[in-house]
Amino acid sequence: MVSRRKTSKAEPDRLSPEDRGEAAPVDHPRLASENPDPITGAPGAHPVGSGLGATAGGVAGGVAGMFAGPLGAAAGVVIGGLVGGLAGKGIAEGINPTEEHEYWRDEFRDRPYVDEELGYEVYGPAYQYGWESYSRHYVADRKTWDEVEEKLGRDWEAHRNERDLTWEDARPATRDAWERAEKQKRRARA
Regarding whether 74 and 121 lie in a shared domain, the answer is no
> At CA 126, angle to CA 144 and CA 152, rounded to 5?
40
Regarding whether 148 and 76 lie in a shared domain, the answer is no
CA 43 to chain centre: 14
| CA-based radius of gyration for the chain | 21
Regarding whether 76 and 158 lie in a shared domain, the answer is no
Range of the domain at 130: 95-189
Number of domains in the chain: 2
Regarding whether 170 and 185 lie in a shared domain, the answer is yes
168 class by beta-carbon count within 10 Å (0-12 exposed, 13-18 middle, 19+ buried): exposed
Regarding whether 106 and 80 lie in a shared domain, the answer is no
Rounded to whole angstroms, the maximal C-alpha distance in the chain is 76
Regarding whether 99 and 184 lie in a shared domain, the answer is yes
C-alpha dist (Å) from residue 119 to 26, 125, 179: 10, 11, 21
Residue 25: partners with Cβ closer than 8 Å, 6 or more residues away: 17, 121
Final residue of a structural domain among 56, 72, 91: 91
Regarding whether 135 and 86 lie in a shared domain, the answer is no
> At CA 125, angle to CA 133 and CA 2, rounded to 5?
170
116 inside domain: yes
22 inside domain: no
Q: What is the residue-level pLDDT of the chain in tens, covering all 190 positions?
A: 443 334 344 444 455 545 555 444 444 444 444 555 555 555 555 566 556 556 665 666 556 556 666 766 565 566 666 555 555 554 555 788 999 999 999 999 999 999 999 999 999 999 999 999 998 898 888 899 999 999 999 999 999 988 899 999 999 999 999 999 999 988 888 7
12 inside domain: no
Regarding whether 182 and 101 lie in a shared domain, the answer is yes
26 inside domain: no
Q: Model's pTM, two decimal places?
A: 0.56
